[in-house]
Amino acid sequence: MASQLTPMELETARMIVESLNLEAVPEHIDPEKPLYRDGLGLDSIDLLELSLVISKTYGFQIKSDDPDVTRIFSSLRALAGTIEKRRTK
Amino acid sequence: MTQRERSTGFWLQTIVWIALRLGRPIARALLYPITAYFLIFADRSRQASAAYLTRIFDRTPSGKEIFRHYHTFAETLLDRVFVFADRDEFFQIRIHGFEVLEKLIADKQGFLLVGAHIGSFEILRGLALRHKGLSVKALVYGENSPKINAIFRTLNPDLFKDIVYVGSANALLGLDEHVARGGVVALLGDRSVHGEKRVLCRFLGEDAWFPAAPVLLANLFKVPVILFVCLHKGDARYDVHFELLADRVAFSRHERDEKIRDCMQHYADRLEHYCREAPYNWFNFYDFWDRSG
């Protein structure tokens, strides 16, 4: 099955799977589904870990009081879009 | 709101009023009929108490012992009122192992404080830490008794401003910075929450679920893990214990499961030690060893 992910979405999916040691196949992650709980099944500690990896890899931080924070983690597509927009490295 | 919640709220407000207006001795005397009332109506908690005490004593507990277990819980709840209302002058608190914390605080080194539903962790929050000028963020999984919390919040809103309710995607973001600035993150390590990572540990003779969160967080923050319990030793006496559980948690991916199990098993062993020292201080009134959920 050909992946429907954009290159940035695929890069983000690989980072998630790799850093959180998930069994999911990056290419098969549905870009529209939530990352938290239902969907990819991540919990709040996973998302904290992910935010640390993002900060290290892409040079920007996602804080809990970010007005956009709920949307950022709402799906792979939203997260990849945020990384593209905010990355400093 | 159910009938039951409504009446619990009413009784709580009444007892808070009595405690603060008429004083601790009168409120403490009233705990006897209140404990009896709850024992009669709370079948499942009574069974849970009996099951726990059976493991501790290695025999079936008497009705009197179950009553004492419940009554000890009621006593600590009442004392919480005084702590939260800043009326704590009569407490006799002995602190053991504080030197473990002193060094970390002096070095401005953040750490993880892991407690349990043993004795009264609120006493600690209200007293010891408040006076040390430490910045403590307490992680709370769900708000399982909103009514009780609302009343305590009215007594002292300050004590609640540093509570982090875990239950949304972004709840924990930024906690790493808090710890890096020398802040403390406190959580209770004896309730596993459905959907969060957990691990089976031996506790009082049988495996039970414990959360993996304390170890996972310590590994992310690269900080020491300190165990704390505050045992109620009768009347106004409380014994606080601090212990180093792990100096620095850091593990690679392939050792992860093993490290989580080792660290939480060590935690469970220490809980067992304190349960044996003060048997009536165990306040998980449900089937702790239920592995079906």
Per-residue pLDDT tens listing for chain B (293 residues): 455 555 667 777 888 888 999 999 999 999 998 888 888 888 888 999 999 999 999 999 999 999 999 999 999 989 988 888 878 788 898 989 989 988 898 899 999 999 999 998 877 766 655 556 678 888 887 655 666 677 777 777 776 677 888 878 888 999 999 999 999 999 999 988 767 889 999 999 999 999 999 999 999 999 999 999 999 999 899 999 999 999 888 888 888 899 999 999 999 999 999 999 999 999 999 999 998 87
Assigned domain for A1 exists: no
Assigned domain for B67 exists: yes
CB atoms within 10 A of CB B281: 23
Encoded tokens for B245: 């559980």
Backbone angles phi, psi at B212, to 5 degrees: -90, -10
CATH number, domain with residue A43: 1.10.1200.10
Comparing C-alpha atoms, which of B46, B35, B43 is closest to residue B74? B35
Q: State the Cα torsion B62-B272-B116-B242 to the nearest 10°.
A: 130
For residue B167, list chain A residues with Cβ-Cβ distance below 8 A: 44
Assigned domain for A13 exists: yes
* Whole-structure pTM value: 0.90
Q: What total number of domains does chain A contain? A: 1
Assigned domain for B291 exists: no
Tell me the percentage of chain A whose pLDDT exceeds 90: 71
B258 burial (CB, 10 Å; 0-12 / 13-18 / 19+) is: exposed
Residue B60 CA to residue B52 CA, distance in Å, equals: 10
Range of the domain at B57: 3-281
Assigned domain for A56 exists: yes
CA A81 to chain centre: 9
For residue A47, list chain B residues with Cβ-Cβ distance below 8 A: 169-170, 172-173
Please indicate whether, in this complex, the C-beta atoms of B169 and A66 are within 8 angstroms of each other: no
B85 burial (CB, 10 Å; 0-12 / 13-18 / 19+) is: middle
Q: Which of A43, A46, A51, A69 to mutate to test the interface with B (most CBs of B within 10 A)?
A: A43
Assigned domain for A48 exists: yes
Assigned domain for A2 exists: no
B172 burial (CB, 10 Å; 0-12 / 13-18 / 19+) is: buried
Comparing C-alpha atoms, which of B68, B21, B45 is closest to residue B234? B68
How close does chain B come to A43, measured CA to CA in Å? 6
- The answer to whether the beta carbons of residues A71 and A77 sit under 8 Å apart is no
pLDDT-wise least confident of A14-18, A24-28, B2-6, B153-157? B2-6
Q: What is the DSSP string of B70-137?
A: HHHHHHHHHHHHHHHTT--TT-EEEEESHHHHHHHHHTT--EEEEE-SBB-HHHHHHTHHHHTT--EE
Q: State the Cα torsion B129-B235-B70-B240 to the nearest 10°.
A: 30
Q: What total number of domains does chain B contain? A: 1
- Looking at residue B44, its pLDDT comes to 86
H-only helix segments in chain B: 3-22, 24-41, 43-57, 63-84, 98-106, 121-126, 128-131, 146-155, 175-180, 213-221, 256-277
Please indicate whether, in this complex, the C-beta atoms of A73 and B169 are within 8 angstroms of each other: yes
Please indicate whether, in this complex, the C-beta atoms of B168 and A62 are within 8 angstroms of each other: no
Assigned domain for A22 exists: yes
The letter for the amino acid at B240 is: V
Residue B188 CA to residue B207 CA, distance in Å, equals: 18
Residue B107 CA to residue B118 CA, distance in Å, equals: 29
Residue B277 CA to residue B129 CA, distance in Å, equals: 24
Assigned domain for B203 exists: yes
Nearest residue on chain B to A35, alpha-carbon basis = B169
- Looking at residue B1, its pLDDT comes to 44
Assigned domain for B293 exists: no
SS3 content of chain A, % helix, strand, coil (to 5): 55, 0, 45
How close does chain A come to B175, measured CA to CA in Å? 8
A2 touches chain B (CB under 8 A): no
Range of the domain at A82: 7-86
